[in-house]
């Protein structure tokens, strides 16, 4: 056993040596006062994270780090994605901002709120050069495209979507409108036997329609140049779903998630680097909600975790192109800042976050230098469902501050 330990020690040493690499002075999750940190762009379309062509969307842009003084907004034409994720677009132009952006600056988080209009011809332009609907799809799901759609011109299908969704047609013609109307009546008049008139009343979604809704999802980019220096882009998906839910209640739409609270879990034991509050609630020694300048007692013998809660009330489902419905997954991006400026102290001695796994909890490493007491945390929650084509992403944002209160034993140990 002794020799095993020797070997193990040797291996561990070798492993540590191998793992040596560059340590950057900056870290993604640490907010610093000398550089801009874009936190989140939250798009809100009457409670939805998505929009249809022509909709007016409210954008909440959150920043911290350096103050935001100026933002130049622009947008791109619809994005063309290649197989490997490289996107291209043909042009950029002004973002159609409605009214004036509203600025909320001067605090720990700067935010800008503005309303913009989604170009009405976004989808039609995005697919203007596509002739074959199958080229939009992986070969393995070509079979799931109803045979009757395959020979219909893409422009006609878009007309159908516009008719069904009540979207003002950008470039349609009377002929295509006529054909589209007929097709809509034929293909989407579920249940069978219903007359075209029944389209005006809510219907269960047709599988073909579900596929078309995904196929005809387009993206454009909103570009922001902040303070004349930092470039930010947000990809925004546009589809007809939001216009369909009145007629087809089971058309899926995505809402922005919500972060209802932030707090700190006090966990029994040291060295715990991962913690699941649902499965390991028995480990919870205490929970301290964080709002503004809330006190967090720090003691020896415990581990601490930041935690956030996203309301299950806005947990949506996604639908894969094959029609499989699954709940979306919420990911969390955590950020922190040491608010007490202590010159010459290595960052390792201050507050830090451990492995950021995208979970709702992340290990909080209390400062070793106990002169550091005030801190801020930010969390950005966003949803995801792989398998649903160009699914719009919902975002939520929350910020809180706190103050560490060290126990005597902790102070003594870290004197």
Binding of other proteins at residue 74 (CB under 8 A)? Answer: no
Q: Which of 373, 391, 398, 399 binds other proteins (CB under 8 A)?
A: 391
| Residue 212 found at the interface with other proteins (CB under 8 A) | no
Q: Based on the shown chain and the rule CB under 8 A, indicate whether residue 41 belongs to the binding site for other proteins.
A: yes
- Name the 3-class secondary structure at 60: strand
Residue 365: CB atoms within 10 A of its CB come to: 16
Pick between residue 30 and residue 206 the one whose CB is nearest to other proteins: 30
Q: By C-beta, is 40 or 179 nearer to other proteins?
A: 40
- Give CA–CA dist 159/180, Å, rounded: 5
- Single residue of 80, 185, 300, 345 touching other proteins by CB under 8 A: 80
- Cα-only R_g, the chain: 26
Q: 147 phi and psi, to 5 degrees?
A: -55, -35
| Residue 138 lies near other proteins (rule: CB under 8 A) | yes
Q: Is 64 helix (H, G, I), strand (E, B) or coil?
A: strand
Distance CA(172)–CA(159), nearest Å, equals 7
> In Å, what is the CA distance from 412 to each residue of 338, 369, 415?
21, 11, 5
Give yes or no for residue 236 binding other proteins (CB under 8 A).
Answer: yes
Q: Does the footprint of other proteins cover residue 396 (CB under 8 A)?
A: no
CA dist 401 → 58, 208, 296, 318, 338 (Å): 27, 49, 10, 34, 10
DSSP string spanning 372-402? --EEEEEEEEEEE-TTSTT----EEEEEEEE
By CB under 8 A, name the one of 1, 2, 70, 83 that touches other proteins.
83
* 230 binding other proteins? (CB under 8 A): yes
Binding-site size, other proteins (CB under 8 A): 81
Q: Tell me the per-residue interface mask from 276 to 295 with other proteins, x by CB under 8 A, - otherwise.
A: x-------------------
d(CA 84, CA 81): 8
Smallest distance from other proteins to CB 386, Å:
5
Contact 386/315 with Cβ under 8 angstroms? Answer: no
Applying CB under 8 A, among 2, 70, 106, 129 the residue interacting with other proteins is 129
Q: Which of residues 327-386 bind other proteins (CB under 8 A)?
A: 329, 331, 333, 355, 357-359, 380, 382, 385-386
259-268 and 80-81 strand pairing: unpaired
Q: Determine, following the binding rule CB under 8 A, whether residue 220 of this chain makes contact with other proteins.
A: no
Q: Binding to other proteins by residue 24, rule CB under 8 A?
A: yes
Question: Which of 82, 174, 200, 201 contacts other proteins by CB under 8 A?
Answer: 82
Tell me which residue of 165, 145, 146, 149 sits closest to 157, measured CA to CA. Answer: 149
Q: Between 110 and 388, whose beta carbon lies closer to other proteins?
A: 388
CA dihedral over 296, 351, 41, 69, signed as positive or negative: positive
Q: Considering only residues 309 through 328, tell me which ones interact with other proteins, judged by CB under 8 A.
A: 320-322, 324, 326
Shortest separation between residue 184's beta carbon and other proteins, angstroms: 25
Helix (H) or strand (E) holding 213: helix 207-215
| Residue spans of beta strands (DSSP E) within 18-109 | 37-44, 56-64, 71-76, 80-81, 87-88, 92-94, 97-104
**Should residue 413 be labelled a site residue for other proteins when binding is judged by CB under 8 A?**
no
Give yes or no for residue 72 binding other proteins (CB under 8 A): no
Q: Decide if residue 21 touches other proteins (CB under 8 A).
A: yes
Stretch that binds other proteins, among 9-17, 288-296, 306-314, 339-347 (CB under 8 A): 9-17
């Amino acid at each position: 056993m002794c020799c095993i330990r020797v070997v193990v020690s040797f291996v561990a040493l070798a492993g540590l040596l191998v793992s040596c690499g560059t340590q950057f002075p900056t870290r993604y999750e640490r907010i610093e006062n000398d550089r801009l940190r874009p936190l989140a762009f939250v798009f809100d379309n009457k409670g939805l994270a998505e929009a249809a062509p022509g909709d007016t969307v409210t954008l909440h842009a959150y920043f911290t780090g350096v103050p935001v003084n100026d933002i130049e907004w622009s947008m791109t034409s619809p994005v063309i994605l290649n197989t490997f994720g490289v996107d291209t677009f043909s042009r950029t132009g002004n973002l159609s901002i409605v009214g004036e952006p509203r600025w909320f600056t001067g605090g720990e988080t700067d935010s800008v709120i503005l309303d913009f209009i989604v170009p009405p011809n976004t989808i039609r332009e995005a697919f203007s050069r596509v002739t074959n609907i199958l080229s939009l799809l992986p070969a393995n799901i070509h079979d799931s495209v109803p045979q009757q759609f395959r020979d219909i011109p893409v422009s006609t299908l878009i007309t159908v979507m516009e008719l069904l969704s009540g979207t003002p047609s950008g470039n349609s013609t009377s002929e295509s409108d006529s054909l589209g109307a007929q097709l809509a009546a034929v293909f989407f008049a579920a249940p069978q036997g219903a007359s075209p008139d029944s389209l005006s009343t809510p219907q269960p979604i047709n599988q073909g329609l579900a596929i078309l809704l995904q196929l005809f999802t387009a993206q454009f980019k909103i570009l922001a140049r902040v303070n004349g220096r930092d470039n930010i882009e947000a990809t925004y998906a546009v589809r007809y779903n939001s216009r369909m839910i009145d007629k087809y209640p089971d058309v899926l739409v995505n809402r922005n998630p919500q972060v209802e609270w932030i707090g700190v879990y006090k966990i029994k034991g040291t060295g715990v680097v991962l913690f699941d509050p649902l499965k390991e609630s028995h480990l919870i020694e205490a929970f301290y909600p964080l709002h503004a300048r809330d006190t967090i007692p720090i003691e020896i013998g415990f581990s601490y975790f930041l935690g956030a809660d996203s309301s299950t009330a806005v947990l949506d489902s996604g639908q894969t192109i094959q029609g499989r419905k699954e709940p979306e997954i919420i990911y969390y991006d955590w950020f922190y800042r040491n608010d007490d400026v202590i010159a010459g102290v290595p960052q390792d001695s201050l507050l830090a976050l451990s492995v950021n796994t995208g979970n709702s909890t992340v290990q909080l490493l209390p400062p070793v230098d106990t002169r550091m007491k005030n801190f801020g945390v930010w969390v950005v929650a966003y949803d995801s469902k792989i398998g649903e084509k160009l699914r719009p992403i919902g975002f939520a944002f929350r910020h809180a501050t706190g103050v560490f209160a060290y126990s005597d034993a902790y102070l003594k140990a870290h004197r």
